[in-house]
Amino acid sequence: MTAVCTCELARRSDAETISNMSRWLIEAGLTPMWVPERVLWHLRDRESTVLVARDQARLVGFAVMQFMDTTAHLNLLGVIPTRQRSGIGRQLLRWLEASAVTAGTFLVKLEVREGNFAARRFYASMGYSEAGVIEGYYQGRDNAVRMNRDLALTT
Ligand SMILES: CC(C)(COP(=O)(O)OP(=O)(O)OC[C@H]1O[C@@H](n2cnc3c(N)ncnc32)[C@H](O)[C@@H]1OP(=O)(O)O)[C@@H](O)C(=O)NCCC(=O)NCCS
């Protein structure tokens, strides 16, 4: 199914919703790190993009990417459960990748919880390769799988 939603830069008023969604979609079982103040910091940071997907006025997905000199790091990506598998995650990630390419940044890196097989399959389908495991990356409680994609190879 194709997503019918709009990708746009987040507003300050989205920070609390993004924080809440991160807590239950991504940080389950961990001490929440993506508090509203941290989301607001990324909204202000000129080297970060906080992106949301909206269906009408409803926020249905979000992503945070930080742009460094030669790499971009995907910090967060989430879609509400009732709208998963409808192309919204792909739409958000492709938007950010296009921004990275425009900025001349071709290497995208991310970490995902080792047991999050759905997300690992999602990223694999988006062209990302697994590049190793980081033991205890998530507060010593969970391992991370590092994944990356070289956009120069396909664009
Ligand atoms: C991972 C996540 C962001 C994917 O977003 P999504 O909008 O559901 O994904 P899409 O619909 O864009 O999927 C694109 C492709 O990825 C693959 N994919 C997505 N979810 C998958 C799953 N659960 N199992 C297998 N493949 C999957 C498929 O190839 C899919 O294409 P298809 O539906 O045409 O087969 C979403 O499931 C999510 O928010 N999960 C919870 C939070 C999370 O784990 N975030 C990532 C870690 S930060």
Report the C-alpha dihedral over residues 113, 150, 104, 42, rounded to 10 degrees: 0
What is the Cα–Cα distance from 118 to 72, expressed in whole angstroms?
A: 22
pLDDT band at 1 (very low <50, low <70, confident <90, very high): low
Q: What is the 3-state secondary structure (H, E, C) of 70-104?
A: CEEEEEEEEECHHHCCCCHHHHHHHHHHHHHHHCC
N- to C-terminal Cα separation, the chain: 25
Residue 123 CA: nearest ligand 1 atom is 16
Residue 88 near ligand 1, beta carbon < 6 Å: yes
* CA atoms of 51 and 49, how far apart (whole Å): 6
- Please give the average per-residue pLDDT across 148-155, as a whole number: 85
Asked whether 144 lines ligand 1 (CB < 6 A), one says: no
Kind plus residue range of the DSSP H or E element containing 154 = none
For residues 12-33, average pLDDT: 97
